[in-house]
Every structure is written in C-alpha cells, then in structure tokens.
Chain A
Amino acid sequence: MSAEDAATHRVICHLGQLLAERDMTLVELSTRSGITVANLSVLKNDRARAVRFSTLTAVCDALGCEPGDLFTLVPTSRG
C-alpha cells in the first residue's frame, strides 16, 4: 500500500488468510472465480484502491464467504 493510499483509507483485505484456511492458491482461486491472478494479487497484498461488486461476488462465491469476511476497517490510532 502506498503512502498516499494509506492516508486515504484504512481497509485491510484478508484474502491471504481466507486462502490459507481453505488451503487454496491464488491460481486456483483465479480458475474458480475467473479473476486474473494479477488482480487477485493486488487484492491480497492490499494494493487495491477499489473493488468492483462483480469481483467481490466472484471471489466470495469461490471462497464461500461474505464480503465482510474479506475486509476489515483498521481503527484510527489515537496518539
């Protein structure tokens, strides 16, 4: 995540954790969801700045999860 992106949002993606829990690779998820490995890699490494609903639907269908399982909002640091 770039410094500019970090300053504008606090959303963290848990795709890596969800993949590990399902013993699934990015390539396998790509095959199941139809999303390119490059885009899934961007999502997994928190370099995404926006996600299409269609991407979210495909990933959640392939992983059997809800959008809320993929993302959490990091609380603001106080002090």
Chain B
Amino acid sequence: MDAATQEEHAAAKQLIGSAMAVGTLVVVACLLIGAGIVAALMVARGGAPVPVEVMAPARQEVVLPCVEGWSIDGISGCAPAVSAEDWPGGEPLPVHRSGPLTIYGDHQSPAIGLMAGAGPWATLLASGLVILLLVPVLRSTAEARPFAPGNARRLAVASAATATAWAMATALPALAAPRAVASFLAAWTTPPTATGETAPVPAGWIVPDPQVAWWPLLVALLLGALAAAVARGTRLADDAEGLV
C-alpha cells in the first residue's frame, strides 16, 4: 500500500469517526430533550414523585414522627420520641431518616407539579439543546474554523438556555414548594391513635427550604464569555479577510 493510499484510508477513518461522534451527540441530545418532555408531562400529570426540599431537621425521604409505642413501616423504637399524649400538639416532632422529602402527585395540581419538578425536566431540555447547539461549533473548531459564521450566536443561545434553565430550576420549585407541601399536608393525617382517632399534621411542621445550586450559572457565564470572545474573533477574522 503506497503512502497516498494510506493517507486516504486515514482520512476516511477520521471522517467516519467524526461522523459517528456527531451522530452520537445528536442522538444523545435528542434523547435528553425527549426525556425532558416526558419528565415534564409525568410531573404535570401526577405520574412522578415531586421532590421538595424542606428545612432541617424535617428534611425527610419519608416523614416518620417518633412517637412512643408507634410502629410505622415496620420501624419502631426511633429516638428521640415523644409520648402519644403529647401529639398532635401543634409543635414539630422529632423525626428520623433524613433525606429529600418526596411528595407524590396525588395531592397537587398539574401546574404545581410542573413547577415543583422543574429541576429535572428543565435540566434535561437545556442539556439537549446546548449539545445540539455546540455540535456545529465543535465541528467547525475541529476543522480549524473557530470563527465560522453563526458560532458566536450558537454559543450565546447556549448560554441563554443554560441561564434560563437554571433560573427555572431554581425559582419554580421555590414558588411551588409551599403550595405542594400545603396540599400534601392537607391530605395527610396522623396514624390512628389507640382510640382510633386521627388528626391533621400540625401547621408549620414541614417548612420548605429550597436550596440554590450556583454552578450552572457559572457554566452559563463561561458560555457567555466564550460567545463574546468568538464574536470579537469573528469580527477580526472578517476584517482580515481580503487582506493580501
């Protein structure tokens, strides 16, 4: 095999590898967007659990009040515990099993479910969109054309999409959490006591406490800075075009 043929084979392999990488990225992006849409539909229709972050110490996976003599879900003997006569008394109770509180969709409206579960579906949609936007940028950069027309705009849109998804994933659950917790608590009563009586969960027992993750905003800012740099580079490249 001569050198020219070997070069042709190497170029063909590189072309096939590049096409496969691009295809894989596009498929992954489409799957992410599809998963985001499905996740949004599921939380809107009440088919998926909605996570709500609540203030410690009632930051629970399953809220289990520790009452002396009670056995819930096969678990008994938690500590610290209060006597059955002291509850419900309107005061927060000691609980155990820490973790995020998960509210199932039976007790809230589609809008509240969509807002409270905005984190996952907004992240999935934005991730897919950003990958779709960055594929042409990566391709042109790999072809030694980082300032190809449209790259700055794509990066700016990716930055805006990331920032928008971050804002939605941060603000919407915070807005929905009080209503989601309220509707959940309104439909939930205490386990029956020895006399068969139940009581509503005391008001203020579970307080929403949304947490803010700042790193996506940093990613959005970096993408924005890159977009500005590429826009500047594109203008300089345009100026240099036709220079002999």
A residues whose Cβ falls under 8 Å from a Cβ of B: 5, 35, 39-40, 42-43, 47-52, 55
Contact = CB atoms under 8 A, between A and B. Distances in A.
B242 interface: yes
Interface of B: 241-244
Q: Looking at chain B's contact residues, is the secondary structure mostly helix, strand, loop, or mixed?
A: loop
Residue in B241, B242, B243, B244 whose Cβ sees the most chain A Cβ within 10 Å: B244
A40 to B, nearest CB: 8
B242 A55 contact: no
B106 to A, nearest CB: 63
Nearest to B238: A49
A39 B242 contact: no
Contacts of A47: 242
A50 B242 CA distance: 6
In order of increasing CB-CB distance, the 10 nearest A-B pairs are A49-B242, A39-B244, A50-B243, A48-B244, A43-B244, A42-B244, A55-B244, A48-B242, A51-B244, A50-B242
A26 to B, nearest CB: 13
Nearest to B243: A50
